[in-house]
Chains A and B, each alone.
Chain A
Amino acid sequence: MPSMIGKGVPRVDAVAKVTGTAQYVYDMQFPGMLWARVLRSTIAFGEIVSIDASEALAMPGVRAFLTGKEIGDDLHGTSLCDEPILARDIVRFYGEGIGVIAADTEEIANEALKKVKVVYREMKPVFDVEEAFSENPPAILHPDLRTYKTSRPPKFIENRPNVYHSHRIQSGDLEQGYTDSDVIVEHEWRTAKIQHVQMEPHCAIAEVEANGDVTVHASINTLYACKNIFCRAFNLPKSKVRVRTYAVGGGFGGKQNITTMGVTYALAKATGRPVKYNLTREEVFIGACTRHPTVIRVKDGVKKNGTLMARDIEVLLDGGGYSEFGFLVVMNCCYAAIGTYKIPNFRIRSYGIYTNAPICGAYRGFGNVQVQWATECQNDLCAEAIHMDPMEFRLKNVLIDGDRNPGREIVFNNEAKQCMEWVEKGMETLKEKLERKPLPPNKVRGYGVSGGNKYSMAPTSSMAYVKMYEDGVVEGRIGGDEPGQGLFTVCAQMLAEIFELPMSEVRIIGGDTQICPYDEGSISSRATYNNGNAIRLAAEDCIRQIREKAAIKMNVPAEKLKVANKRVYNTDNVLESIDVRDLYDLNIMATGLYVKEGGEFCGKATWFQGTCKPNENYNSDRLCSFYTQGAQGIAVLIDKETGKVDIEGIVSSYDTGNPINPPLVEVQIEGGAMMAIGSALMEAMIMDEKGQTINANLTNYIIPTFKDMPLESHHMTNIAKSYHPNGPFGAKGLGEGTMSCTAPAIANAIYDAIGVRFYDLPITAEQIMAELNKKAAEGDPAKAKETVEVREPATIGV
């Protein structure tokens, strides 16, 4: 059998998806099913005085209405339990759910919603993250914060009542680092509130049986995390609850909230009918989850020879009304700053902060991408300050195997250098191609580069079952999620490799807590690494059982036997083999086969990835599973009359370990880059002075289309040569890292083109025009560069 690893076999779900037969929850309907619609608040902060739904309930076809209080849930959260399914007494952001209606059709439910009367007592909200962070904020969102239940204790900050969690990693001696530096570069960076815009909106259908058993079908990207949080919120035994997913139309970290599950369950319980809730596109923006806007302050110290001596980072994460997965974002964003460069004196501090805005949670990178927006732009500024080429500066400071990173981890399987060198060469090729033609009139071109990484969380665990059927077909069951990244395909490839079978003879079953074992979800780029390892181990267990059985049948010691292509071979005598069917017995009616002793050939396994215990500065030899590494170069073409930025070329190289399916890796890299182009140049949720999001639709919140991509010949993608010693067949993960390089590379390219440094995302055409006009007024030639801020060491932050 030719190896299945490293092969671009078609996705196992491709045919279903191109024929329109793949099942998505958004499309599903059950007999007798009711439709839910959520009533949403029209104030950003205040008390709910009364809700009157009597007129709505009197409408024909309306079956139930529940307020937040009537849902009957306990506060929930990832670690900090601060969030109700629907607001009860207090509303904390404009658009927060406060009631839910069930009706025979979606249209009736919509009409009925308009008839519900709500009286509020408004309070003064806080929208600005720095104000919210202050010791005397204009509003305290959760006065009872310190009494909430937690499953992992938050690190609060004394006297800062809106901080729901904080984190810090520190090593070396910052002051000494600055003293030893020749130049200090210090800036503040910001990112906007953006949304995942998964093409399938969030949705769920809940059913409650007469005996109280609950089944929820949901479009989510963390099967077990959602089940566990849901069970805890409703105090339901784990054995009574079944959560199912199907094809999931995009996740990107944004389908981990249990709101849709919660409202449909409460209504199904109240009505005795299956209940479905499909979010509208507008609700996806305000009622699901968004990416934390950030304020990031970075102070770097560098030597003239290019050595990065010290880096101090402070991250304010604007978390919105509830912590949700933002609790983990606070911690995880810190790893962005320790993954790629050697920094002997280092500190990063991050704070999750409540504001009266839609909830912020996980978004492709868990805060890492925002932090790298700041640090990778800083790298360019540092290089410029000492007159060094930006890539040379990065290569001078890049971590290589055997180093200790700023978290004091021992670096291994880090191919950042290889990625950077590939991009450096790739950019030369790209330049050569682009500069063959004269520059169009009124346009100016620039090139920018960036490094980037994403750590994958640990300790973490995945489990798997692997079963062989009597026809020799092998099935793997995993609790991992398939929101589109290709997990089921790569796991199937691993099974095919281990059992030496063609792809048609293996399959992966997932998305059902009743029949699939525990997993921690398709988050943190962890799925291939962890599910793959679990599948590998469970397959070995299954093969062990087959060999033991065959050893008796063949009278050959088990260790001499090999399972391949539905047969068991004696490795000492290849001519001696049996069909796996021969391991079964014929039943009495001669209608089927069974295993007479020992049960079915069914392997099971737990894969556990541990860490070394961190000290009080969060230093340890190993803090995570792995780092995805990468580098990217971007060419921009800017129209001097409109400020419009065209992405002319993208050169990407990522280290994802040994790629199991290279085209699936490429498409992730290309997709991550495009999503990041949106975050860099176009995407921002805009709130008015009342806190209402005014562009919660795809007409006014613009995301990249075909028109925003470069020509194919200017779009080069490379997968670095790499092999992770603990990965399944050497594989790591990839999804989130693919967004880490792009925005800084674009900003660096814009600077190269017009000599203007932008500190806030997104960088819009209007902002570019304003800067170009300013320069023209000052009589500044468009290419002249502003001077880098160089200061004496000074303390930043709080």
Chain B
Amino acid sequence: MKRDITLKINGQSYEVRIEEDALLMDVLRKNLYLPGTKKGCGEGECGACTVLVDGVSELSCLMYAVMAEGKEITTIEGLSKGGKLDPIQEAFVEASAVQCGYCIPGMIMSTKNLLDKNPHPTEAEILDGMSGNICRCTGYKKIVDAVKLAAEKRA
């Protein structure tokens, strides 16, 4: 069954006609051409598809798009404003926390979720808060550095 819905993404409204069981991840990537949200597994295991829904991190591969109607969706595309990077994005660049980059949008969204709730996390809290996101390249150490640096920058 197709349905017409309106999604609010990064402060803008989008009207889309989608199947009722379409996943938010697919609607973002395929219907709306917002591929910053990555697909790494499609089964809730890698965190590459992390977005914020009403400020809380969600795996968009496990969420039907219709469930997000009327909510405020933030994707990686919505983080930098007017060509200026968000402090979290800056921190990932400066900490050399990026390699292939495929996990990075999800990492950044999870960092935002973590720091919005807990602006000064301990190292253990960082490991815990980020543990749903997999990176195969970096070995995580420099991503932890980036999260710490982001916390400093936002302070």
Q: Which residues of A contact B (CB under 8 A)?
A: 8, 10-11, 13-22, 24, 26-29, 107, 196-201, 247-252, 280-281, 483-486, 663-664, 666-675, 697-699, 703-707, 709, 711-712, 715
Contact = CB atoms under 8 A, between A and B. Distances in A.
B77 A19 contact: yes
Nearest to A483: B100
A16 B102 CA distance: 11
Interface string B2-46: 000000000000000001000000000110010111111111011
B140 A674 contact: yes
A15 B96 CA distance: 11
Contact of B141 (A247, A483, A712): A712
Contacts of B140: 670, 674, 704-706, 709
Contacts of A669: 139
B105 A705 contact: no
A712 B102 contact: no
Interface of B: 19, 29-30, 33, 35-43, 45-46, 48, 75-77, 79-80, 85, 89, 92-94, 96-105, 108, 123, 126-128, 130-131, 133-145
Given A20-B77, A666-B142, A709-B140, A200 B89 contact: no
A269 B98 CA distance: 38
Contact of A709 (B43, B85, B99, B139): B139
Contact of A199 (B48, B85, B96): B48
A407 B143 CA distance: 41
B100 A15 contact: no
B94 to A, nearest CB: 7
Contacts of A674: 138-140
Contacts of A26: 38-39
B100 A712 contact: no
A698 B96 contact: no
A10 B33 contact: no
Contacts of B101: 13, 16-18, 22, 247, 249, 484
A66 B145 CA distance: 50
Nearest to B95: A663
13 contacts: A18-B98, A19-B76, A199-B135, A247-B102, A250-B102, A250-B137, A486-B99, A668-B99, A671-B99, A697-B43, A705-B133, A706-B144, A709-B140
Contacts of A711: 123
A20 B139 contact: no
Residue in B38, B45, B102 whose Cβ sees the most chain A Cβ within 10 Å: B102
Contacts of A201: 40
A248 B98 contact: no
Contact of B127 (A17, A28, A197, A709): A709
A775 to B, nearest CB: 32
Given A199-B38, A199-B134, 17 more contacts: A11-B98, A13-B101, A19-B76, A19-B85, A198-B102, A199-B40, A200-B38, A248-B100, A252-B136, A484-B100, A667-B137, A667-B142, A668-B99, A670-B141, A670-B142, A674-B140, A698-B43
Contacts of A671: 99, 136-139
A197 B126 CA distance: 24
A706 B136 contact: no
A663 B43 CA distance: 33
Given A247-B100, A664-B96, A671-B139, A19 B80 contact: yes
Residue in B75, B79, B96, B100 whose Cβ sees the most chain A Cβ within 10 Å: B100
A248 B43 CA distance: 21
Contacts of B108: 18
Across the A-B interface, give the 7 residue pairs with the lowest CB-CB distance, nearest first.
A20-B36, A484-B100, A17-B101, A249-B102, A27-B35, A670-B139, A20-B76
Nearest to A700: B45
A706 B131 contact: yes
Nearest to B35: A27
B100 A709 contact: no
A669 to B, nearest CB: 8
A672 B139 contact: yes
Nearest to B132: A705
Residue in A13, A248, A252, A484 whose Cβ sees the most chain B Cβ within 10 Å: A484
Interface of B is mostly: loop
Contacts of B143: 706
A663 B142 contact: yes
Contacts of A250: 99-100, 102, 136-137
A659 to B, nearest CB: 12
A697 B80 contact: no
Given A15-B85, A19-B77, A715-B141, A281 B42 contact: yes
A476 B126 CA distance: 39
Given A697-B41, A699-B43, A21 B102 contact: no
Contact of A21 (B36, B38, B103, B136): B36
A567 to B, nearest CB: 30
A165 B97 CA distance: 40
B119 to A, nearest CB: 19
A711 B125 CA distance: 12
A677 B123 CA distance: 20
Nearest to B127: A706
A11 B93 CA distance: 8
Contact of B35 (A20, A703, A704): A20
A712 B123 contact: yes
Contacts of B102: 24, 198-200, 247, 249-250
A15 B40 CA distance: 21
Nearest to A665: B96
Nearest to B79: A19
A187 B30 CA distance: 54
A29 B131 contact: no
Nearest to A707: B131
A322 B86 CA distance: 48
B98 A14 contact: yes
A191 B126 CA distance: 33
Nearest to B143: A706
A666 B139 CA distance: 10
Contacts of B98: 11, 13-14, 17-18
Given A14-B92, A703-B134, A667 B43 contact: no
A663 B96 contact: yes
Contact of A667 (B134, B136, B138): B138
A197 B102 CA distance: 12
A268 to B, nearest CB: 20
Contact of B93 (A14, A485, A707): A14
Residue in A11, A14, A107, A672 whose Cβ sees the most chain B Cβ within 10 Å: A14
Contacts of B94: 10
B130 to A, nearest CB: 5
B91 to A, nearest CB: 9
B96 A675 contact: no
B11 to A, nearest CB: 16
A411 B143 CA distance: 37
Given A671-B137, A709-B141, A20 B105 contact: yes
Residue in B40, B75, B104 whose Cβ sees the most chain A Cβ within 10 Å: B40
